[in-house]
A and B are shown apart, each in its own frame.
Chain A
Amino acid sequence: MQGSVRVKLPYLNCPFLPLAKQNASNALTAPEFERFAAGDEAELTAFFKQHFAYVTGWLIYREKCPQDQAREWYADAVLRVRLKAMQGEVSAGNLRAYLLKTAINFHKMEQRRESSLLKRHERFLEQLPPYTDDESFDTLVQEEETAGIDLKQQRNILVLQKALALLGDGCRQLLTDTILHGIKVGQLVEKYGLKDARGVTAKKQDCKGQLQRLVHKVLQQLGWTADQISIPLP
């Protein structure tokens, strides 16, 4: 777990202000944090730019992290902090210190993270060409050793990418909030204007069903069979 790697908190170098006050000056305002925690991507980009110089500087000069890796750990850390904000686990006041601690942890856990399932999936995606027609989809599936993930996992990604592009905005957003961000259904009642948590659960099941049907349709278009992937089908 992230908390298992202990790091020294970044006691800042400003001689005038104690840490808490410095953090306060870098803190998001209440409306900014509200937008950040609601998944607003403009606010995410602003947050990313705001702390880029400080956090990557710390990683490079204090932690001796290579420059190109510092950018990547920083991007990963920002997305992790956003996820925690969306799950209601962090508040606006201490975000910069939490972000720095997360980035340092990611750097220290480099080996373990690089071999993680998610990183291996990301590396596979990075190798894909920007656009491919249906006929040449088979050529994208590589040897397991080259791709870093097994054949079914490679096909999962390729099929899901196409299916998600066909899914409606509302469903895509709801599945992103529930599956990716792990937000509890009770917290989504207001956002989606539904009556209660059961309404959100029902809508989530409906959206998942739609996605599964689209996955099935894409499989047929590509001439692949259900046993070639490992994600659930209707």
Chain B
Amino acid sequence: MNHNDEIQIQDYAAGLLSGSKKAEFERRLQAEPDLRTELDLYVAMMALDQQRLKKSLLGSLEHHETQPIKPGASGKWIWGAGGLAVLILIGAWYALQSKPQTPAQPATAQEIALTFIREAYPPPVVSMGSNDTLQAMQQKAYLAYRNKQFAEAANLLKPLADQPGAPDELLFYAGESCLQTDQWNEAITYFGQVGAGYWHDKAEWRLALGLLQSGKPDSAIPLLEKMRLGDRKNEAEKLLKALQDFN
């Protein structure tokens, strides 16, 4: 089955095919039993996954006060808020004029890095069903990480990550748990071991932050320079500028 068939199966199941495309696909379903079984497998799996996700998403609104906003209302609200903001700005300008000005102290690279570190990387994704085949200790560690009990997660993950051939995801979360508990050197070691693949870029970013915290900016700079070309351009440039300003 090719990629086009997969897309057609998705669209047909969701009711997004119409007219001649729908008729043609239904003709193929009659003539190709394999396509029919693929459709049945897809639609059953998808229904299970959609139902689980929608239950979780709609459930997340239970403790969330947000109500639908009337589209026309937001414009009036913004005009009002805009007017208020202008008044506040004028007031603030007068207040600043009457006081001796003290320049705001720019943040150091270490301070900026710490703000990035404190936004912990999201817990591992486990999809569909609840039966977990991970080792018991790893399950417990991921659960602790999910509950933001990073010290416990670090204690559980470190012995697993120290085993030869530990997978990259485990090394990454061992490093991240250490980073969240200020164990900079351990974090650097684990992030440094993550090999090429899905976790590599993420590990390099966290490694650079760990290096800055442990007072090794010279090792962090080449990593940050590399990130200037990628998705973390803004963050990397902010840190590099702070490093330059304080040298």
Chain A contacts to B: CB under 8 angstroms? 1-2, 4, 10, 12-16, 30-31, 34-35, 38-45, 48-49, 52-54, 56-62, 67, 70-72, 75-76, 78-80, 83, 109, 112-119, 121-122, 124-126, 152-153, 156-157, 160-161, 164-170, 172-173, 175-176, 179-180, 182, 184, 190-193, 230-232
The A-contacting residues of B in range 163-177, CB under 8 angstroms, are 167-168
- 22 A-B pairs with CB atoms under 8 Å apart are A1-B11, A13-B74, A14-B75, A16-B82, A30-B233, A31-B231, A35-B122, A41-B125, A54-B69, A61-B71, A61-B72, A62-B71, A117-B43, A119-B15, A122-B50, A169-B133, A172-B128, A190-B196, A190-B198, A231-B41, A232-B37, A232-B41
Complex: A114 Cα to B196 Cα, angstroms: 45
Residue in contact with A193 in the complex, picked from B58, B130, B197, CB distance below 8 Å: B197
- Chain B 55-66 interface mask (CB, 8 Å, partner A; 1/0): 011101100101
Check: B78 CB closer than 8 A to any chain A CB. Answer: yes
Residues of chain B with a CB closer than 8 A to A31's CB: 231-232
Most buried by A among B16, B39, B79, B122: B16
User: Across the interface, do A75 and B54 meet the contact criterion of CB distance under 8 Å?
Assistant: yes
Residues of chain B with a CB closer than 8 A to A160's CB: 41, 44-45, 48
Complex: A78 Cα to B168 Cα, angstroms: 30
- Chain B 141-156 interface mask (CB, 8 Å, partner A; 1/0): 0000000000000000
User: Across the interface, do B3 and A40 meet the contact criterion of CB distance under 8 Å?
Assistant: no
User: Across the interface, do B72 and A13 meet the contact criterion of CB distance under 8 Å?
Assistant: yes
Residues of chain B with a CB closer than 8 A to A12's CB: 74
- Chain B 204-235 interface mask (CB, 8 Å, partner A; 1/0): 00000000000000000000000000011110
For B3, the closest partner residue in chain A by CB is A184
| Interface size of B as a range | 35 or more
The A-contacting residues of B in range 70-89, CB under 8 angstroms, are 70-72, 74-75, 78-79, 82
Residues of chain A with a CB closer than 8 A to B50's CB: 79, 118, 122
Please give me the 6 A-B residue pairs with the lowest Cβ-Cβ distance, nearest first. Answer: A116-B15, A13-B75, A121-B47, A57-B68, A30-B231, A57-B69
Residues of chain B with a CB closer than 8 A to A156's CB: 40-41, 44
Complex: A121 Cα to B128 Cα, angstroms: 17
Known: A52-B66, A60-B68, A180-B45. A172 touches B129 (CB 8 A): yes
User: Across the interface, do A53 and B41 meet the contact criterion of CB distance under 8 Å?
Assistant: no
User: Across the interface, do B13 and A53 meet the contact criterion of CB distance under 8 Å?
Assistant: no
Question: Helix, strand, loop or mixed for chain A's interface?
Answer: helix
Chain B contacts to A: CB under 8 angstroms? 3, 6-7, 10-18, 21, 36-51, 53-54, 56-58, 60-61, 64, 66-72, 74-75, 78-79, 82, 122-123, 125-134, 167-168, 195-198, 200, 231-234
Known: A169-B133, A230-B36. A1 touches B17 (CB 8 A): yes
Residues of chain B with a CB closer than 8 A to A41's CB: 53, 56, 125, 127
Known: A15-B78, A118-B13. A45 touches B57 (CB 8 A): yes
Known: A161-B48, A184-B3, A230-B36. A14 touches B17 (CB 8 A): no
User: Across the interface, do B44 and A153 meet the contact criterion of CB distance under 8 Å?
Assistant: yes
Residues of chain B with a CB closer than 8 A to A122's CB: 47, 50-51
Complex: A60 Cα to B82 Cα, angstroms: 27
User: Across the interface, do A230 and B37 meet the contact criterion of CB distance under 8 Å?
Assistant: yes
Residues of chain A with a CB closer than 8 A to B54's CB: 72, 75-76, 79
Number of residue pairs A-B, CB distance < 8 angstroms:
207
Complex: A38 Cα to B169 Cα, angstroms: 14
For A155, the closest partner residue in chain B by CB is B44
Residues of chain A with a CB closer than 8 A to B7's CB: 182
Most buried by B among A38, A114, A125, A152: A125
User: Across the interface, do A179 and B68 meet the contact criterion of CB distance under 8 Å?
Assistant: no
Known: A44-B53, A113-B15, A116-B15. 14 other contacts (CB 8 A): A13-B72, A13-B78, A34-B231, A35-B122, A40-B122, A45-B57, A79-B53, A80-B14, A109-B15, A118-B13, A122-B51, A126-B51, A180-B46, A191-B198
For A193, the closest partner residue in chain B by CB is B197
For A58, the closest partner residue in chain B by CB is B71
Known: A57-B70, A57-B71, A179-B42. A16 touches B131 (CB 8 A): no
For B195, the closest partner residue in chain A by CB is A193
User: Across the interface, do B10 and A14 meet the contact criterion of CB distance under 8 Å?
Assistant: no
